Chains A and B, each alone.
Chain A
Amino acid sequence: MNVLTFVEAFFSDSAHWHGYDGIPTRLLEHVQYTLMALGIAAAVGLPVGLLTGHTGRGGNTLALIATAARALPSFGLMVLMFVILGLGLAPVMIPLVVLAVPPVLVTTYEAVRSVDPAPVDAARGMGMSEAGVLLRVELPVALPLILSGLRSAAIQIVSTATIAAYVSFGGLGRYIVDGLYQRDYEKVVGGATLVAALALATLGVFWAAGRLAVSRGVRRSG
């Protein structure tokens, strides 16, 4: 017996395909957690990163915040929040957002700051407003890096949302944690396959987003 036979057994069992503990339900829950956390992290990280990158100020403060946030163990934080706040969305969302803000924030800051100053000066010389310079020159040029920051945030959220099952939340981690308790290895590796597939799909989505959103001129020079 190896892992693949277990995986095949898991997916061919029709009981895993519907109902409250079915794959569609769990997948949807996982995607919901991910989108919500990524949305909040982007709403916080993108504007702050764009503004600080544009003005070039506060880089050291940002690096310090990012280091501190990275040092926080997300799994531990989740368990702690669960014990303090009890059942609810907050104990999952707080650690996920704390985890996702630093990559978004720091990468956006670095991306905007490292934009070639020549086109920025040219835009100013043409009489563009500061907002215009930021949104119509710096943002498009910095977009590939900004997307890579969002991507690593999303990957980490997908990975950590799996662990939320330990503190009784839904999502694909349910299969792994329940399977471990029930000594049902088939369920464990089935869940692991699903989570890995979701993570790879996330990579794919960001790759496609990069293709669509990044202007051709930027892609060629990068």
Chain B
Amino acid sequence: MSELFDLPSDLQNSYLGLVALHLRIALLPVLAGLLVALPIAQLCVRLRWLYPPVLWVTTVLYAVPSLAFFVVLIDYTGLSELTVMIPLAVYSLVVFVPALVDGVRSVPRETLDAATAMGFGPVRRYLQVQLPIAAPAVIAGLRVASVSSISLVSVGMLIGNQGALGNLLNSGMIYHQPRLIWLSVVGTAVLAILVDAALILLRALVTPWMPKGAVR
């Protein structure tokens, strides 16, 4: 009888190792997506005509199914982690760009003028006034992007076992061990809930002026 967390040796990883790997493959692309979205969103705020086409492009890219995206990238990046991470980063744009644009735009004119009057340059005004006011929207975006990213990593299993916890699904099938499949599903779900909770906490920390106790 095997222990609950024992894994087949061909996975070459412990359960906790897979959890760490899963977090890495899921969350690094979300952060990269956020970093890419910042300049794009700022450009859309400055040039209003650019926003609708950019939104359209992100929507179309988001519509491309993950497995299709992965297998087309195989030709360029091989059966590697990167092949899974690039689509996840691209998907996160559909959440971040509107969150940032609407967040930054929602800052009232008077607030901006007050900041300028206080001697804030455009960069400082962006970093210290506009971004903090957009923070709740950005963190709401982070929550959606992170949770769906954690769920999607498992699909990477299909392209040469690049799915971290998702690899357990295949092991469970080929070795007839439903335990491994449960470990994968429950582990991934718990991971998603914990990350979501951590982000809610982060929101409370970075936006101390918001009312407490709101779940959404």
Contact = CB atoms under 8 A, between A and B. Distances in A.
A218 interface: no
A73 B188 contact: yes
B151 A74 contact: yes
Interface of B: 59-60, 62-69, 71-72, 74-75, 144, 147-148, 150-151, 154-155, 157-159, 165-166, 169, 172-173, 178, 181-182, 184-185, 188-189, 192-193, 196, 215-216
A73 B182 contact: no
Interface residue tally of chain A, by bracket? 35 or more
B200 to A, nearest CB: 10
A168 to B, nearest CB: 10
A75 interface: yes
Nearest to A181: B158
Given A192-B71, A196-B64, A73 B215 contact: no
A170 interface: no
Contacts of A162: 65, 67-68
A70 B181 contact: no
30 contacts: A3-B75, A60-B216, A63-B215, A64-B215, A68-B193, A70-B147, A71-B151, A73-B150, A73-B184, A73-B188, A73-B189, A74-B151, A75-B166, A76-B154, A76-B165, A76-B184, A77-B185, A79-B173, A80-B181, A83-B172, A83-B181, A160-B65, A162-B67, A163-B67, A179-B71, A180-B159, A185-B75, A191-B68, A203-B59, A203-B60
A189 B71 CA distance: 7
A166 B101 CA distance: 39
A64 B196 CA distance: 11
Main SS of chain B's interface residues? helix
A43 interface: no
A64 B193 CA distance: 11
A199 B215 CA distance: 32
Contacts of A79: 169, 172-173, 181, 184-185
